[in-house]
């Protein structure tokens, strides 16, 4: 396929505003009369609210509103309304340290802070449940007293006959793997400005990954028609899943705005971001894998216990998605996936890049190395024998179209020096290499019962192309990717394309930026819009030049006629068309990801995924036996991209994911004491800095067969999925210690080495 704009590593269209400080983020917005809102949060993990006294706060000069549960709609909310369990402001009980109890609006930050300090809440402390184990005890206190137990959600999926397969398999390994809670730590904290205007319209300026669904959520929370809510996002300082589901800041600010008649801003402090902005769901995974002597994996049986935190968010979807990826990887014939979510008096979890898949991959890919060892087989060989293939339908129903898994493995193994370095063969005792595979969606999912979107293009008489798309750019580069797809198909230069997005009054309904979805879904709609606009352009050119449309070529911003040297700028054609005839030139693109035959939301499971993306990471580590420090020396990250839309940005997605994966594996963890998170700042919650990164080689492996735009698939999340198990496997190769729990800290390594010596 010949391409002019895509594949190249062109600079992002928003690079200049970002590098000059011109780019305005939501947190930079200022409005006349704007008030500062602040939230009083629970200091206790579990307590009954006896009374709240706001009188002193109300009397403070500069305070314009103080609200409690009595002043806000009594809606119970959750991402899935059938699981609704959270109020805007707590009514009778608080369920985690950080739960919203009251809020104020004041003229400035200092006054708002002071007012918060003047609110007196009388709490009756209740015994908290601070771990999944405690929550499951028969006499455990209930996080939600209207429920029978702390079990928040349960699912079981069965394919084949795993019990029989486990009994008959030549080899079976079994183990428990534990992952922890992590913070997204977007550099721009979660924040919003809300204005409730005189026409009863609520405008929410916020950093969101999903403006249209957030609009519905805010309307639902406030009990007002959707038509009365408009969501506007700006340049956005990161998302990583943390900004998919609304939190209570938006409805609280809305109520404060209604009362005061002024726009109200609420901005998380960095501490609030660590303690209330939700976490990666911590998983405890009980896993069995069985294989036959020929190296074929015949069965996998997994039970995931997830810590839900105090309220429902994306937990059920996360558990389900983990199970889908679990079922798809290696096309294992017999699969059982059991998932449970347990309420605790802890910060709630939410989506986080990879959506449960990194947790699960840590278990499955660690265990695969344990299985290989038991079988006396090279772990790479075991993986090669079980690789997924293009055009297969797996036992759990996944329809794999393009698949470059084998190629990814070969590239990663070759470039890390697998043969030379494995089993301490590199001569250094405390060095090792390991690898891990992954599968992930490369195009979102049909989880809502549909997966579709729309885009519009118009050409102006100066040759400018305006693209209206719902593709949400949280920093990953979706706008640039969309502009490249439009420019490629239209035959214009990238600099001719202007992207308009991020306002629900302007953009078509869309599910948002998650599940590595934008390139595939929004990209397909943009491609269709560009195709339609191109046809309109050709028609206009044929009329103007008085030649058959079939003879018109559009390339690099110019129109030419077959068999002639004549060239016309696109602007010339559009100008003629618009100003001579009044014919405007535009295109509408709609992409509806076709549901498989017999699809139902309940039964679909892996058939929810329109496009799979495979990848392999190979890692070399060195261990310092004295300090326990794991130095990741090198990461080869080979990931399938279909057709790479932007080489540099795709590498950037992989590199950024790998470094988040290193944080997940070795460094990051929210630490709680009696339900209170104590490391609520960057000094204590250490994310990788520039000195912590290894040599990273991101390899975009192109493959055919996907239905993405120009053959592309998403690459936003995959790079984080296999990093932790690849590191754990490399550590095992280096020192012969198998870690079943993340993060693998220096203390744990030192302890393990000591135990091994004894």
Partner 1 sequence: MKRELHLTVNGVSYHRLIDTHRTLLEVIRDEIGLTGTKNGCGQGECGACTVLLDGEPVNSCMVLAHEADGHDVVTIEGLADGAVLHPVQRAFVETGAIQCGFCTPGMVLSAKALLDRNPDPTRQEILDGLKGNLCRCTGYVKIIEAVQAASCLLDEEEAS
Chain residues in the site for partner 1 (CB under 8 A) = 9, 11-12, 14-25, 27-28, 184-189, 235-238, 240, 269-270, 474-477, 648-649, 651-652, 655-660, 681-683, 687-691, 693, 696, 698
Q: Which is nearer to partner 1, 475 or 589 (CB)?
A: 475
- Least distance between partner 1 and beta carbon 719 (Å): 9
Q: Which is nearer to partner 1, 82 or 690 (CB)?
A: 690
DSSP element (H, E) containing 536:
helix 518-545
What is the CB neighbour count within 10 angstroms for residue 721?
33
- Least distance between partner 1 and beta carbon 669 (Å): 16
Q: Which is nearer to partner 1, 15 or 506 (CB)?
A: 15
DSSP element (H, E) containing 647:
helix 647-662
- Least distance between partner 1 and beta carbon 646 (Å): 8
Chain centroid offset of residue 81 CA: 21
- Least distance between partner 1 and beta carbon 545 (Å): 36
Cα–Cα distance list, 700 to 423, 445, 643, 644, 714 (Å): 28, 22, 9, 7, 11
Q: What is the DSSP letter of 119?
A: -
- Least distance between partner 1 and beta carbon 654 (Å): 8
Which pair of structure tokens corresponds to residue 283? 């998983």
Which pair of structure tokens corresponds to residue 92? 């009778």
CA distance 94 to 47: 5
- Least distance between partner 1 and beta carbon 185 (Å): 6
Cα–Cα distance list, 251 to 192, 257, 266, 574 (Å): 10, 10, 11, 45
Instruction: Measure the CA dihedral 140/144/147/148, to 10°.
Output: 0
Q: Which is nearer to partner 1, 176 or 689 (CB)?
A: 689
Q: Which is nearer to partner 1, 469 or 679 (CB)?
A: 679
> Is the distance from CB of 104 to CB of 110 less than 8 angstroms?
no
Q: How many CA atoms lie within 13 A of 360 on its CB side?
A: 30
Q: Which is nearer to partner 1, 334 or 679 (CB)?
A: 679
Long-range contacts of 476-480 (CB under 8 A, 24+ apart): 476/239, 476/513, 476/518, 476/649, 476/653, 476/716, 477/12, 477/646, 477/649, 477/652, 477/653, 478/513, 478/518, 478/519, 478/522, 479/12, 479/13, 479/14, 480/10, 480/12, 480/13, 480/14, 480/646, 480/649
DSSP element (H, E) containing 639:
strand 630-642
- Least distance between partner 1 and beta carbon 269 (Å): 7
Q: Which is nearer to partner 1, 335 or 474 (CB)?
A: 474
**Bridge partner list, 25:** 235
DSSP element (H, E) containing 569:
strand 567-569
Q: Which is nearer to partner 1, 234 or 284 (CB)?
A: 234
Q: Which is nearer to partner 1, 188 or 370 (CB)?
A: 188
CA distance 429 to 312: 47
Which pair of structure tokens corresponds to residue 313? 């968010």
- Least distance between partner 1 and beta carbon 652 (Å): 5
- Least distance between partner 1 and beta carbon 24 (Å): 7
Q: Which is nearer to partner 1, 333 or 719 (CB)?
A: 719
Which pair of structure tokens corresponds to residue 3? 């391409």
Q: Which is nearer to partner 1, 488 or 651 (CB)?
A: 651
CA distance 715 to 717: 6
Give the angle 112-118-124 at the CA atoms, nearest 5°.
125
CA distance 214 to 210: 6
Residue 328 zone, left/alpha/beta (φ > 0; ψ -120 to 50; rest): alpha
Q: How many CA atoms lie within 13 A of 621 on its CB side?
A: 32
Which pair of structure tokens corresponds to residue 492? 């214009």
Q: Which is nearer to partner 1, 18 or 756 (CB)?
A: 18
Gyration radius of the chain's alpha carbons: 27
- Least distance between partner 1 and beta carbon 479 (Å): 12
> Is the distance from CB of 748 to CB of 628 less than 8 angstroms?
yes
- Least distance between partner 1 and beta carbon 263 (Å): 16
Q: Which is nearer to partner 1, 240 or 355 (CB)?
A: 240
Of the candidates 256, 204, 250, the one whose C-alpha atom is nearest the C-alpha of residue 230 is 204
CA distance 588 to 570: 19
Q: Which is nearer to partner 1, 400 or 649 (CB)?
A: 649
- Least distance between partner 1 and beta carbon 526 (Å): 20
Q: Which is nearer to partner 1, 659 or 710 (CB)?
A: 659
- Least distance between partner 1 and beta carbon 61 (Å): 17
Cα–Cα distance list, 323 to 300, 361, 522, 579 (Å): 11, 11, 26, 57
Which pair of structure tokens corresponds to residue 490? 């239209």
Q: Which is nearer to partner 1, 20 or 600 (CB)?
A: 20
Helix (H, G, I), strand (E, B) or coil at 160: coil
Of the candidates 13, 124, 3, the one whose C-alpha atom is nearest the C-alpha of residue 500 is 13
- Least distance between partner 1 and beta carbon 101 (Å): 23
- Least distance between partner 1 and beta carbon 715 (Å): 13
Q: Which is nearer to partner 1, 589 or 663 (CB)?
A: 663
Cα–Cα distance list, 757 to 491, 736, 737 (Å): 66, 11, 11
- Least distance between partner 1 and beta carbon 664 (Å): 13
Q: Which is nearer to partner 1, 255 or 618 (CB)?
A: 618
- Least distance between partner 1 and beta carbon 455 (Å): 23
- Least distance between partner 1 and beta carbon 475 (Å): 3
CA distance 706 to 731: 35
């Amino acid at each position: 396929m010949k391409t002019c704009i895509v594949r190249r590593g062109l600079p992002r269209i928003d690079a200049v505003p970002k590098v000059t400080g011109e780019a305005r983020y939501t947190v930079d917005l200022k409005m006349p009369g704007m008030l500062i809102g602040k939230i009083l949060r629970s200091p206790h993990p579990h307590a009954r609210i006896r009374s709240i006294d706001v009188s002193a706060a109300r009397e403070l000069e500069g305070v314009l509103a103080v609200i409690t549960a009595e002043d806000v709609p009594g809606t119970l909310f959750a991402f899935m309304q059938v699981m609704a369990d959270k109020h805007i402001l707590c009514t009778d009980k608080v369920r985690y340290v950080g739960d919203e109890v009251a809020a104020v609006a004041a003229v400035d930050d200092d006054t708002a802070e002071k007012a918060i300090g003047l609110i007196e809440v009388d709490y009756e402390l209740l015994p908290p449940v601070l771990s999944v184990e405690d929550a499951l005890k028969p006499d455990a206190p209930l996080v939600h007293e209207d429920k029978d137990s702390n079990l928040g959600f349960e699912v079981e999926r069965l394919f084949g006959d795993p019990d029989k397969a486990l009994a008959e398999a030549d080899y079976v390994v079994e183990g428990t793997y534990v992952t922890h809670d992590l913070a997204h730590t977007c550099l721009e904290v979660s924040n919003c400005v809300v204005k409730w205007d005189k026409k009863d319209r609520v405008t929410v300026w916020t950093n969101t990954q999903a403006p249209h669904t957030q609009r519905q959520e805010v309307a639902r929370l406030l009990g007002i028609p959707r038509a009365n809510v408009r969501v506007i996002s700006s340049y956005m300082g990161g998302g990583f899943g943390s900004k998919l589901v609304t939190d209570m800041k938006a409805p609280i600010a809305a109520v404060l705005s209604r009362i005061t008649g002024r726009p109200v801003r609420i901005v998380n402090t960095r501490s609030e971001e660590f303690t209330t902005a939700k976490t990666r769901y911590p998983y405890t995974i009980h896993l069995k894998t069985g294989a036959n002597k020929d190296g074929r994996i015949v069965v996998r049986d997994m039970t995931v216990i997830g810590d839900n935190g105090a309220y429902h968010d994306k937990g059920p979807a996360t558990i389900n998605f983990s199970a889908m990826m679990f079922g798809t990887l290696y096309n294992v014939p017999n699969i059982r996936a059991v998932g449970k979510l347990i309420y605790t008096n802890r910060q709630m979890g939410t989506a986080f890049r990879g959506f449960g898949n990194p947790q699960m991959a840590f278990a499955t890919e660690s265990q695969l190395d344990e299985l290989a060892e038991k079988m006396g087989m090279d772990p790479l060989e075991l993986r090669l024998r079980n690789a997924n293939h293009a055009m297969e339908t797996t036992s759990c129903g996944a329809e794999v179209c393009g698949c470059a898994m084998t190629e990814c493995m070969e590239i990663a193994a070759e470039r890390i020096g697998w043969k030379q370095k494995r089993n301490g063969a590199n001569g250094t005792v405390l060095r090792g290499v390991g690898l891990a595979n992954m599968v992930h969606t490369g195009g979102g999912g049909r989880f809502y019962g549909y997966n579709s979107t729309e885009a519009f293009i118009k050409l102006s008489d100066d040759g400018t192309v305006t693209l209206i798309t719902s593709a949400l750019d949280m920093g990953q580069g979706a706008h640039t990717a969309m502009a490249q797809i439009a420019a490629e198909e239209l035959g214009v230069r990238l600099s001719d394309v202007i992207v308009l997005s991020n306002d629900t009054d302007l953009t078509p309904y869309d599910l948002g930026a998650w599940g590595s979805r934008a390139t595939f879904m929004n990209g397909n709609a943009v491609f269709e819009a560009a195709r339609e606009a191109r046809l309109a352009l050709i028609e206009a050119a044929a009329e103007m030049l008085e030649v058959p449309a079939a003879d018109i070529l559009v390339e690099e911003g110019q129109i030419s006629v077959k068999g002639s040297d004549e060239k016309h700028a696109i602007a010339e054609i559009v100008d003629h068309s618009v100003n001579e005839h009044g014919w405007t030139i535009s295109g509408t693109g709609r992409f509806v990801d076709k549901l498989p035959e017999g699809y139902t939301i309940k039964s679909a499971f892996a058939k929810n995924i329109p496009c799979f993306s495979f990848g392999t990471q190979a890692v070399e580590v060195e261990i310092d036996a004295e300090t326990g420090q794991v130095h990741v020396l090198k990461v080869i990250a080979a990931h399938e991209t279909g057709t790479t839309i932007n080489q540099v940005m795709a590498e950037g997605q992989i590199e950024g994911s790998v470094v988040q994966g290193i944080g997940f594996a070795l460094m990051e963890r929210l630490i709680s004491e009696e339900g209170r998170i104590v490391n609520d700042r960057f000094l204590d919650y250490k994310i990788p800095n520039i000195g912590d990164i290894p040599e990273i080689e991101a390899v975009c492996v192109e493959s055919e067969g996907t239905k993405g735009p120009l053959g592309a698939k998403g690459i936003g999340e995959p790079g984080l999925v296999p990093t932790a198990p690849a590191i754990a496997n490399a550590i095992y190769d280096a020192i012969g210690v198998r870690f079943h729990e993340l993060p693998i800290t220096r203390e744990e390594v030192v302890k393990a080495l000591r135990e091994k010596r004894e």
